[in-house]
């Protein structure tokens, strides 16, 4: 794992030392995975730059995607991916759904395995 950008957000900064971080497609995120960062579009020849959230990391609560749900984000062109759209949370940490193009990459910490 290469960290390509840092953040001043306390919760995000702490989690960057976790050995469990991994990069997955949005449609591979599972319930209770902690979503740490998205990535800015990559510049040719450069590593994709981490793009942190003002909210800090947040737990995934995936749900069905409804383009006409009316939250103001679902249905926007930027959430439509060539392989479809997935919703990673609804109503938290924002008042809207959290739809992503299915093939967008995210930095996550997989949900903790409780023994």
What residues from 49 to 78 belong to the interface with Zn ion (CB under 5 A)?
69, 71, 74
How many residues can be counted in the chain? 115
Pick 5 or 69: Cβ nearer Zn ion: 69
Distance CA 115, CA 40 (A): 36
How many chain residues are in contact with Zn ion, going by CB under 5 A? 4
Q: Find the binding residues for Zn ion in span 77-106 (CB under 5 A).
A: 97
Q: Please choose, from the candidates 7, 5, 41, 2, the residue with its C-alpha nearest in 3D space to the C-alpha of residue 23.
A: 2
Cα 47 from Cα 110, distance rounded (Å): 22
The minimum distance between CB 63 and Zn ion, in angstroms, equals: 9
Nearer to Zn ion by C-beta: 97 or 106? 97
């Amino acid at each position: 794992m290469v960290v390509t950008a840092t953040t001043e957000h306390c919760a995000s900064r702490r989690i960057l030392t976790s050995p469990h971080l991994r990069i997955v497609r949005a449609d591979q995120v599972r319930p209770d995975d902690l979503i740490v960062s998205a990535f800015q579009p990559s510049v040719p020849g450069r590593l994709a730059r981490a793009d942190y959230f003002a909210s800090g990391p947040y737990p995934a609560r995936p749900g069905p995607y409804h383009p006409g749900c009316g939250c103001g984000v679902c249905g926007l062109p930027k959430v439509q991916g060539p392989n479809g759209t997935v919703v990673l949370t609804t109503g938290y940490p924002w008042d809207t759904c959290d739809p992503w193009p299915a093939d967008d990459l995210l930095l996550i910490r997989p949900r903790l395995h409780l023994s």
